[in-house]
């Protein structure tokens, strides 16, 4: 599933995690909003989610993930696996066009409608049309973060700025949440 029109990046560095999303919303070939919030906290502010795709679909998935988190006492991995299973098997959910990154104190997961629950090998993951640019920038910054005096929030901020300069569907109005 390829999602166009947004960029979400998550980075874990020095026991902190930051999730960033751009604020641009496009419709066909035009920009209709510059300050959308595609990153938010759920489950008593203990989990950060960032989404790419159709807004209503992404919000519905976020609500479903929160329900699963309630059911499994905040266990992000278990809740994500159960949501992915529902997403693949439920006739309504299968039609949703969205991807999501979910992060807590210890886990960083990508969830997709294909049933994927992926925890990256590295300390970063990105989705959306500018995801490759943001992920490449984070990959380049991470090895030098200590020397540059950067934390997770600064890494995602810089990487998202680079993505905004490359991807026409990504703007420089960035929302960042940190855990």
Residues with catalytic roles: 6
Task: Give first-to-last CA distance, the chain, whole Å.
Answer: 28
Going from the C-alpha of 99 to that of each of 29, 60, 116, the distances in angstroms are 21, 11, 10
CB distance 115 to 84 below 8 Å: yes
Q: How far apart are CA 162 and CA 130, in angstroms?
A: 10
Helix (H) or strand (E) holding 178: strand 174-178
- In a 3-state reduction of DSSP, which class is residue 110? strand
Residue 30: count other Cβ atoms within 10 Å of its Cβ: 7
DSSP one-letter code for 4? -
């Amino acid at each position: 599933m390829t999602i166009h029109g947004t960029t979400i990046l998550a980075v874990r560095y020095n026991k902190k995690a930051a999730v960033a999303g751009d604020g641009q919303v496009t419709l066909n070939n035009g920009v209709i909003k510059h300050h959308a919030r595609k990153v938010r906290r759920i489950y008593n502010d203990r989990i950060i989610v960032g989404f790419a795709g159709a807004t209503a679909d992404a919000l519905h998935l976020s609500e479903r993930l929160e329900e699963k988190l309630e059911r499994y006492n905040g266990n992000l991995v278990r809740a994500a696996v159960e949501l992915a299973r529902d997403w693949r098997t439920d006739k309504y959910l299968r039609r949703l066009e969205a991807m999501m990154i979910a992060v807590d104190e210890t886990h960083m997961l990508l969830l997709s409608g294909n049933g994927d629950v992926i925890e990256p090998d590295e300390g970063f993951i990105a989705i959306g049309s500018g995801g490759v640019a943001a992920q490449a920038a984070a990959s380049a910054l991470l090895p030098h973060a200590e020397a540059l005096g950067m934390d997770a929030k600064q890494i995602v901020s810089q990487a998202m700025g680079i993505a905004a300069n490359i991807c026409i569907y990504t703007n420089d109005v960035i929302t960042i949440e940190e855990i």
